[in-house]
Structure 1
Amino acid sequence: MDKRYAKTLVCIVGPTAVGKTSMAIDLANAYQTEIISADSRQFYKEMNIGTAKPNAEELAAAPHHFIDSHSISQDYSAGDFEVDALKLLEQLFEKHNIVILTGGSGLFVNAVCYGLDKLPKPAAGVRETLTRTYESEGVTYLQERLKEVDPEYYNEVDHGNPQRMIRALEVFETTGLAFSKWRKKDLELRNFNILPIGLHMDRELLYERINKRVDNMIRNGLLDEVKKLLPYREKGPLQSVGYSELFDYLDGTISLERAIELIKRNSRRYAKRQLTWFKKMPEIEWFQPHEQKGIKDYIATLEL
């Protein structure tokens, strides 16, 4: 990172269950600063257990923003988050030279750091057609079609999120070009430094942590949480890992045991796609989650 500005946004990113929350809190305390969550599901106050939201003790350990900031009844896009997070950063940088941003939602991290792509307006009726096909043939159709026309984005997108796959497909159907080809080559200039730090660990250890996390979620009442969210099941954030599988169980199409097995499997697959996304982040440096000192030494060498 070539230091250009007086203020710096330190981004802690990585796959689910790798330890981003703990690292963000540790750095926030070290630099006496605040944390912006870029986890697109932790915005919603009704989604707690299935999102691995920071607990009360963690929230008290450092100031957090965009946790429980919205209701699932509200639509909140990455574009909305970009606008709101940049406004908040203006305020936070008046008090702090460093602010921490953390989360595993690559699109929302990119929105703040680099801006969003200016995508073409979809042709009339394309989204409606894709949505009807999805409703009749299921998410497998979207996955297979996206893999066929845009394998690059297929390897990055959350396969349990039909809205994002439909958005990518409607761009292709409208323009004849893959969604991945429309993504901007030039990064949006910000008036602060961006310092991306990735967390990773041995794959088998990460998968073990994911499996244990899912078991804990089930013990802590995830199924009851999902039951309460049934009226909102068509909302995009709920068509994701941990929720969609339990909706299928409540529909009677799979057993509870199978739903839990699928949550673990889909979480592991999601972690792999997260790593694929973040490895493309400009100038990212990778550390193990226990390397707190190494991360602080790295930040210090950049003379923030």
Structure 2
Amino acid sequence: MRTDIIFIVGPTATGKSDAAFRLAKSAGAQIISCDSMLIYQEPRIITSKPSKQMLDEVKHHFINIISVEENYSVFDYYKQCISLIDELIKKDTPLIACGGTGLYVKALLDGIFEGAGRDDALRERLRRDAEKHGNLYLYEKLKKIDPQTAAKFSANDLKRIIRALEVYSLSGKPISAFQKEARGIYGKYNIKIFGFKVDRERLYERINKRVGEMFSEGAVREVGGLMTKNLSLTAEKIIGIKEISGFLRGELSEQEAGELMKKNTRNFAKRQFTWFNKDKRIEWIDADDLSPGRLSEKILKEIEG
């Protein structure tokens, strides 16, 4: 059976983008980015964006699509990406989905629902109820209106309890009903998911080296330019902006900013691995000593059996 989409996932600095590029060139495939930071047009250095040559040689989707001043949700990504995938597969276009944003990957594979909007006043009222009566009070309310959702978490998951109660209050539908409407591509298409892993110490060495190279390539100048813009809430989360802006404001030395950026990137990589390691559909590849070319060859071999 033909593989419709190959997923390459895993922590940052494991060689995903380069391997996906090599694989796409050899297979005549297009790449779907699953990286929430690559969607922004302005930052290039601090997001480790693929080079212009790579973007010119292989068609990449969901890179450089919006400004850092625009908000973009995982649901926006899901809607646009699912539509594109359906269109490209109808044309028999080989696809490689590559990235380390777990929510993007999960949304594509398993679906996501838009649900109701938000009501900050209602959220605050529910938070006050929890402070006054305890979390269990809200949890019992949720059990009455949506026992299926309540069974998925404990009374201590206050944020999720409040969101579930908010959805019901605004829509009249339990959040579990919305979840049943979510549809992903796993099961719809023939999909293979590969995860790249690297020994922790070696991964941290790669991260430290990459951050050092970012500073050499002009990360400080790039962040200085970003600070003149009205950054969206999602863009503000790009690793490097907070750390380097601290240096530019005189709160940190350049060395301190660099070390903080390394630390935060290492912690991010740890969270990425924890997220993906829970997904038993992923076939892990030890990427320690393999070049991008060897990694792409290994994936091809696995697919061809």
Question: 1:116 is matched with which residue: 93, 100, 112?
Answer: 112
Count of aligned pairs = 256
Could you give the per-residue CA deviations for residues 190-212 of structure 1, whole angstroms, max 9, x where no partner exists? 32123210001111111111111
Match of 1:296 in 2: 300
State the identity %: 35
**Which residue, 9, 12, 16 being the options, matches 1:13?**
9
The whole-number CA distance in structure 1 between the counterparts of 2:64 and 2:15 is: 20
| C-alpha distance in structure 1 between counterparts of 2:220 and 2:72, whole Å | 24
Q: 2:79 aligns with which of 73, 76, 83?
A: 83
| Number of the residue aligned with 2:239 | 241
Say whether the 8 Å CA contact 1:28–1:100 is kept in structure 2: yes
Work out which of the two has the higher radius of gyration on C-alpha atoms and give 1 or 2.
2
Map 1:66-215 → 2, pairs under 5 A? 66-96=62-92, 98-116=94-112, 122=118, 124-125=120-121, 170-174=159-163, 188-190=183-185, 191-215=188-212
The 3 A distance-change label for structure 1 pair 41 and 69 is same
RMSD after superposition: 2.8
Contact conserved, 2:6 with 2:96, CA < 8 A, in 1? Answer: yes
1:220 aligns with 2:209: no
Q: Is the 8 A contact 2:112 2:182 kept in 1?
A: no
**1:11–1:196 CA contact under 8 A, matched in 2:** yes
CA distance in 2, matches of 1:218, 1:83: 36
Cα displacement (A) at 1:94: 2.7
Cα deviations by residue, 1:158-215 (Å, 9 ceiling, x for unpaired): xxxxxxxxxx974344558xxxx98969983532123210001111111111111101
1:35 aligns with 2:39: no
- CA shift at 1:128, angstroms? 7.6
Partners of 1:30 and 1:24 in 2: how far apart?
10
Q: Aligned partner of 1:298: which letter?
A: E
Matched, 1:56 2:52: yes
The answer for the alignment partner of 1:158 in structure 2 is none
| TM-score after normalising by structure 1 | 0.75
1:7 touches 1:93 (CA, 8 Å); kept in 2? no
Contact 2:47/2:238 (8 A) holds in 1: no
CA distance in 2, matches of 1:186, 1:287: 33
For the 8 Å contact 2:246–2:252, the answer to whether it is kept is yes
Give, as a single letter, the amino acid of the residue that structure 2 aligns with 1:99.
L
8 Å CA contact 1:122–1:171 kept in 2: the answer is: no
Looking at structure 2, the residues matched to 118 and 235 of structure 1 have their Cα atoms a distance apart, in angstroms, of 19
Local SS of the residue matching 1:205: helix
* Contact 1:21–1:102, Cα closer than 8 Å, also in 2: yes
Change (3 A) 1:243 1:273: same
Structure 2 counterpart of 1:44, from 37, 40, 45 = 40
Q: 1:189 and 1:116, CA in 2 relative to 1: closer, same or farther beyond 3 A?
A: closer
Query: 1:171 is matched by which residue type in structure 2?
Result: R
Mark the CA change 1:128 to 1:221 in structure 2 (over 3 Å): closer, same or farther. Answer: farther
**Hey, what's the Cα distance between the residues in 2 that align with 1:126 and 1:23?**
47
CA offset at residue 28 of structure 1? 1.0
The 3 A distance-change label for structure 1 pair 175 and 32 is closer
1:137-178 CA distance string (max 9 Å, x none) = xxxxxxxxxxxxxxxxxxxxxxxxxxxxxxx974344558xx
SS of residue matched to 1:24: helix
Q: If the length of structure 2 is used for normalisation, what is the TM-score?
A: 0.75
Q: Which runs of 5+ in 2 are unaligned?
A: 126-156, 166-174
Q: Secondary structure at 1:82's aligned position in 2?
A: helix
Structure 1's unaligned 5+ residue stretches are: 130-167
How far residue 121 of structure 1 moved from its aligned partner, in angstroms, is 5.6
Q: Does 1:260 align with 2:258?
A: yes
